[in-house]
Amino acid sequence: MKTLVTIILLIFIGALAAGVTQAQKRNQGKLAREAGMKEKSEDNVKTAVFGGGCFWCVESDFEKVIGVKEAISGYAGGTGANPTYDDYARKGYVEVVKIIYDPALVTYKQLLDYFWRHMDPTDAGGQFVDRGPQYRGVIFYENAEQQRQAEESKKELEKSGRFHKLIVTEILPLKNFYPAEDYHQNYYKTHTTKYKFYRWNSGRDQFLKKVWGDRDRTEELGNLFFKEARAAENTANNPGTSAASKYTKPSDAELRKKLTPLQYQVTQKEGTEPAFNNKYWDNKKEGIYVDIVSGEPLFNSRDKYKSGTGWPSFTKPLAPENIVTRQDRSLFTTRTEVRSKHGDSHLGHVFPDGPPPTGKRYCLNSAALRFIPKEDLVKEGYGQYLPLFEKGK
C-alpha cells in the first residue's frame, strides 16, 4: 500500500513539475520576444501596428515584404494587463500584428498600401469568417505622423472607388501592445497544413483576389509590389535616380577600356564563352548578379541551379524589368536571346527545359555578369536586396 501511495505521489509531483516547467517556458518565451522587440527598437528600425483580422494571416502577409524584419502577432487596444488568447476579447483587445521594418527599404505609406490589399476595410464586424470586434480592422498609430499618413491613405482609398461600400477601418492611438503566446507566432510556418486549410476556408484570398486581382495583391507578389513602389517613389522624389539614368551604357571607347576582350566579345558581339571554363558556372556563394556593362541587377543566387551545361543557369530573373528577350536565328535554329534592358548587353539565352516552378533555364555567360556577394550589397549600392538573404526569404 505504501508503495502504491509513493508511486501516486511521485506521478503527481512529476505532473506538477511539468506544469511549472511549461509555464516557465511560456513566460520565458514572452520575455524573450519582449526583449527582442526592445533590442530591435534600438536599431535603425521603425514599427507599425495593424489589425486585419486573424493575426496568423496578417503576420504571414507582412513577413513577405522586403524591408520587414519581423512581424509579431499580438493584442492591442484593450484594458487590463497581460491579455491571453482566452481573455483578450473580453478585455476589449484586438488581434494585431506589430511590424518591425527598415524605413530605408520600405516606407510606412507603402505598408499602409499593402495593408489595404490584404483585408476588407468595409467590414466593421470582423474580418471574413472571424466575427466580433476583436477581429475588426484597425490601424494603431504611434505618433502624429503615422496618424496623418494613415488618415490620408484611408481618404485615398475612399476616392479610388475600389470599394462601393463605406471604408470603416478605424484609426486609433496605440496605447498598449502585448505579444501573443508562442503558439501563435509564425503559425503559418509551424502549422503549415492547418494554416493553409484555415486560410482557404476563411474566404480571405477569394475576396481579395476578386477585389484586387492577382497582379495587385498576391502574397507571391508582395516583394515585387514593394520593389516597384520603392522605385516609383524614388523616381518621383529624385528624378535623377531613375533606373534609366542610374544604369546606362558607356560609349564603345569606354567599354573597350573597361571590359576584357572576352567580356566585350560576349556582351557587344553576341559571343559565347567556353562551358565549364568560366567564372561563375560553379559559383555557390550567396548574392546577386548584375550586368558587367551597366550594373543593373539581373539574377539572384537563390534562383541559380546546377544545369550540367557548364554555364551559370537560373530559373528566373531577380529584376524582370531589366530583362529583354528577342528571337535569335543565328545558328540555323530559333532561340530566345536574353539581353539587359539598360546596358543592352548580350547575356545568353533562355530555354523551356528548366526545373519547377518556372520550367525555364536562363543560360548565361559569366563574362556578361558581375557577382555581388551578399555581404557587399550595401557597400556596392544594392542594399535593397539584402533582405532576400535573411530569414530564409
Do 66 and 105 meet the contact criterion of CB atoms below 8 Å apart?
Answer: yes
- Tell me which long-range contacts 216-223 makes (C-beta under 8 A, separation of at least 24): 216/117, 217/117, 217/118, 219/60, 219/61, 219/64, 222/61, 222/64, 222/65, 222/114, 223/64, 223/65, 223/66, 223/388, 223/393
CA nearest neighbour of 324 among 312, 334, 339: 339
Amino acid at 216: D
Q: At what angle do helices 108-116 and 222-237 cross, to 10 degrees?
A: 140
CA nearest neighbour of 113 among 142, 152, 76, 141: 152
- Residue of 58, 363, 369, 372 with catalytic role: 363
Return the H-helix or E-strand segment holding 324: strand 323-328
- Residue of 33, 47, 49, 54 with catalytic role: 54
Do 360 and 304 meet the contact criterion of CB atoms below 8 Å apart?
Answer: no
Q: Quote the DSSP letter at residue 65.
A: S
Amino acid at 74: G
Cα 230–chain centre separation: 13
Do 340 and 249 meet the contact criterion of CB atoms below 8 Å apart?
Answer: no
Do 153 and 171 meet the contact criterion of CB atoms below 8 Å apart?
Answer: no
Return the H-helix or E-strand segment holding 226: helix 222-237
- Residue 262, classified by CB atoms within 10 Å of its CB into exposed (0-12), middle (13-18) or buried (19+), is middle
Do 50 and 138 meet the contact criterion of CB atoms below 8 Å apart?
Answer: yes
Cα–Cα distances in Å, from 355 out to 54, 209, 221, 282, 303?
35, 28, 20, 18, 11
Do 348 and 360 meet the contact criterion of CB atoms below 8 Å apart?
Answer: no
**What is the distance between the alpha carbons of residues 144 and 28, in angstroms, rounded to a whole number?**
34
**What is the distance between the alpha carbons of residues 26 and 29, in angstroms, rounded to a whole number?**
5
57 in active site: no
For the annotated catalytic residues, the residue numbers are: 54, 363
